[in-house]
Structure 1
Amino acid sequence: MITGKTTVVGIMGDPVEHSLSPPMHNAAFQELKLDYVYVPFHVKRGNLALAMEGARKMGIKGLNLTIPHKIEVINYLDEVDEVAKLIGAVNTVNFTDDLVTGYNTDGIGAVKAIEEVRSIKNKKIIIIGAGGAARAISFQLLLSGAGEVLIANRTREKACILADNLNEISATSVGCLGLDDELTLELEDTDVLINTTPIGMHPHEDDEPLVTADMMHPDLVVNDIVYNPLETGLLREADKAGAIKVPGTKMLIYQGMEAFRIWTGKTPQLETFETVLMKELNR
């Protein structure tokens, strides 16, 4: 039951009605008997400053931020975690009595998802895409001990800009590629492939994947951060190659669990988040 004592957390975005975070978090609050509720807030572009001030004044405990607010929100925070500062985007905010702090849990979510099947320490990793998700994941990979990171993008120049940013903060080898024969060659001895582009996302499930089975090897871990559909074209290609698949639902679960921990100090059960998420996606 929600009362005047219930702690409020939520998500701000535009749009936000599609968010799968409320059912996952609310199920975990119920299981752990925490008097919390997770609410979606539709905050249109241009209204974030007022919304953040309102959240502060109303005593909201925590927020997730999604498109288009992840970068702008930094302007309204007292502190930004070092990882979020490097990434240049915040997806989780924690409110205390006198401080509002921003974090980015996307990269942690991706690393934990991959490490269910393989440690990324000293491994060669190729990331497809050079946008916000690629940036968050690549910084976290470097901080987690990856041996080599290559950014592959249709516009090679954009991949090289991200690689240069990464090289500024790490001694790890970071390079850039186009989506051509060079990518095919590099994949031969790659340990982990991560797709951060929206290729294959609903309603474009029939898009041709950027990497096909003939470019993969059986020991390759293939992670697609797209989670709708559950089985993307890239993951079907991984099946054909006998490669190891990591679906996008895993990153979504782990990044949410990390936000939950930041707000409550408690770690929810993976199974709780996963069961609720799969139920929602299969509706």
Structure 2
Amino acid sequence: MAITGKTTVTGIIGWPVSHSLSPVLHNAAFQALDLDWIYVPFPVAPERLAEGIAGLKSLGVAGFSVTIPHKVAIIPLLDQVTPEAELIGAVNTVVAREGRLFGYNTDGIGLIAALREKLGCDPEGKRVLVLGAGGAARSAVVSLAAAGAAGIAIANRSTDAAVALAHLVGARLTATRCEGGGLASLADPGFMGSFDLVVNTTSVGMAGDSFAGLALSSLAPGACVYDMVYAPPVTPLLAQAGALGIPCANGFGMLVAQGEAAFRIWTGATPPRGCMEGALAAVL
């Protein structure tokens, strides 16, 4: 693709950012749609975030992704954020419109899309167990509740963090019953038997580690397991689910779906089906 003075620039900010796979996703979609756009990494140190955002705005960058460690710190620097991003407390996608910056969070959109496409699982009416209470968990709990989950239980090493997240989301999205607790209950068949879906939002599994005593065999009939981790493609959690015949999927689909959502926000166009997924699979 030739870059000219008319090329529209997008990108990603983070620190570091050289490892990001987002340029692979978006540049493949730009090429597939023959759009004169490009997506590049912008390394922005935390102490220079305000300068970096001002620079991107001044240069006319059309939009950008936001990754660690800027997802929370960027919010005060934006002109407006969506209600979902405000509740999640993090932004991963920014679009520039008429000199103003608008923040979104597409992680939750990606999760719900991946659940429906990869597992045929619609969260509406489901009882969900979310593992973890960090930033990814917050996005997951908000999106699952917004999608109509009947109940969400959050299990985390820090019980206080799980309870706090449950209270935060439950107070705003009152149609979903939210509760928080520790990890000890994961070994209780009676506790596990009430869930239709398990979502791992933690890094457990990246290094071959697992949740001790997790009683997946006690899940409700027809239950599914989703692991946000995508490298390795088969974590111990997914291996256990697969051995039990439980439908399961890794975070690959979520990564692609959140990228597709960001692409639509910037361009108003939808990437060709399978375009981003194929490009990502080629490098993974």
Q: TM-score range by the shorter chain?
A: over 0.9
TM-score, length basis structure 1: 0.95
Unaligned segments of structure 2, at least 5 residues: none
Inter-CA distance 154–275: structure 2 relative to 1 (3 Å threshold): same
| 2:113 matches 1:112 | yes
| 2:146 matches 1:129 | no
- C-alpha distance after superposition, 1:96-142 (max 9, x if no partner): 12321000001111111111211111100110000000001111111
Aligned to 1:41: 42
| 2:211 matches 1:209 | yes
Partner-residue secondary structure (3-state), 1:115: helix
Aligned to 1:189: 194
The letter of the residue matching 1:69 is H
Percentage of matched positions with identical amino acids: 43
Contact 1:13 1:43 in 2 (8 A): yes
1:136-147 equivalences in 2 (<5 Å): 136-147=139-150
- C-alpha distance after superposition, 1:172-200 (max 9, x if no partner): 11111211136633221311100001011
| 2:61 matches 1:60 | yes
Contact 1:218 1:241 in 2 (8 A): no
1:19-34 equivalences in 2 (<5 Å): 19-34=20-35
Aligned to 1:176: 180
Query: In the aligned structure 2, how far is the partner of 1:13 from the partner of 1:264?
Result: 22
Deviation at 1:170, TM superposition (A): 1.7
Deviation at 1:212, TM superposition (A): 5.4
Aligned to 1:259: 262
Which of 257, 269, 272 is residue 272 of structure 2 equivalent to?
269
TM-score, length basis structure 2: 0.94
- C-alpha distance after superposition, 1:10-33 (max 9, x if no partner): 000111111111011101000011
Contact 2:196 2:219 in 1 (8 A): no
Query: In the aligned structure 2, how far is the partner of 1:280 from the partner of 1:124?
Result: 35
The letter of the residue matching 1:242 is G
Query: In the aligned structure 1, how far is the partner of 2:8 from the partner of 2:253?
Result: 27
Moved more, 163-172 or 181-190: 181-190
Query: In the aligned structure 2, how far is the partner of 1:231 from the partner of 1:63?
Result: 30
Deviation at 1:216, TM superposition (A): 4.3
Aligned to 2:72: 71
Inter-CA distance 75–191: structure 2 relative to 1 (3 Å threshold): same
Query: In the aligned structure 2, how far is the partner of 1:102 from the partner of 1:66?
Result: 13
The letter of the residue matching 1:243 is I
Let me know the Cα RMSD of the aligned residues.
1.4
Query: In the aligned structure 1, how far is the partner of 2:59 from the partner of 2:264?
Result: 22
Which of 226, 230, 236 is residue 227 of structure 1 equivalent to?
230
Query: In the aligned structure 2, how far is the partner of 1:30 from the partner of 1:183?
Result: 49
Query: In the aligned structure 2, how far is the partner of 1:213 from the partner of 1:182?
Result: 9
Query: In the aligned structure 1, how far is the partner of 2:127 from the partner of 2:216?
Result: 19
- C-alpha distance after superposition, 1:13-56 (max 9, x if no partner): 11111111101110100001111001011111211111100000
| 2:92 matches 1:87 | no
Aligned to 2:103: 102
- C-alpha distance after superposition, 1:120-175 (max 9, x if no partner): 11100110000000001111111111111111111111100000101110221111
Aligned to 1:161: 164
Contact 2:209 2:236 in 1 (8 A): yes
